[in-house]
Amino acid sequence: MIFVGADHAGFELKESIKKYLTTSEISFEDFGAHKLNEKDDYPDFAKLVCEKIQKESDRGILICGTGQGMTIAANKFKGIRASLCWNEETVTVAAKHNDANVLCLPGRLISKELGVKLVKLWLNFEFSGEVRHNRRIEKIRGFEA
Ligand code: RB5
């Protein structure tokens, strides 16, 4: 199950990603925005998605204009490893090395085609499980205590 959320600046890319998930028969839940509202605030959607992931141990996709606000907000939640990705290399490392459970995308800076492609890659990659990457993630977990 994938939980998705976006503010107004990520709204259109979120809708394209939802189309991709639907045609690929990948289950998802949309935490909004449910309509375009220039006045909405990205932390509200980050909160909804991250709290759901904390309960259900699933993954999420968060989109705002640059992806930075969503990444900052999401990483405040215990157990969340949110990575801002904008190309193949960043999404590869986010999945294989960082074991990112939240993919953050910059809706204003990448095309919808690229956004969908990055989601597809992220969903198909797996954490490498290598000792050095586990060790690094454990060190980050230690910050949460
Ligand atoms: C909204 O205008 C914009 O600030 C927001 O989407 C995001 O880019 C923040 O990081």
To the query of whether residue 104 is one of the catalytic residues in this protein, the response is no
Rg of the Cα atoms in the chain: 14
Cα angle at 83 between 81 and 85, to 5 degrees?
165
pLDDT in tens, 44-93: 999 999 999 999 989 999 999 999 999 999 999 999 999 999 999 999 99
pLDDT in tens, 4-22: 999 999 999 999 999 999 9
Domains in the chain: ranges and CATH: 2-141 (3.40.1400.10)
pTM of the model as a whole:
0.98
Q: Active-site residue among 8, 50, 64, 85?
A: 64
C-alpha 31 to ligand 1 mean position (Å): 17
Mention every residue, 6+ apart, whose C-beta is less than 8 A from residue 26. Answer: 2, 123
Q: Which H or E element spans position 50?
A: helix 42-56
C-alpha 131 to ligand 1 mean position (Å): 36
C-alpha 105 to ligand 1 mean position (Å): 11
User: Quick check: 12 and 107 in contact, CB under 8 A?
Assistant: yes
Can you tell me which atom of ligand 1 is nearest the CA of 8?
6
Q: What one-character DSSP code corresponds to residue 111? A: -
Cα atoms in the 13 Å half-sphere on the side-chain side of 109: 13
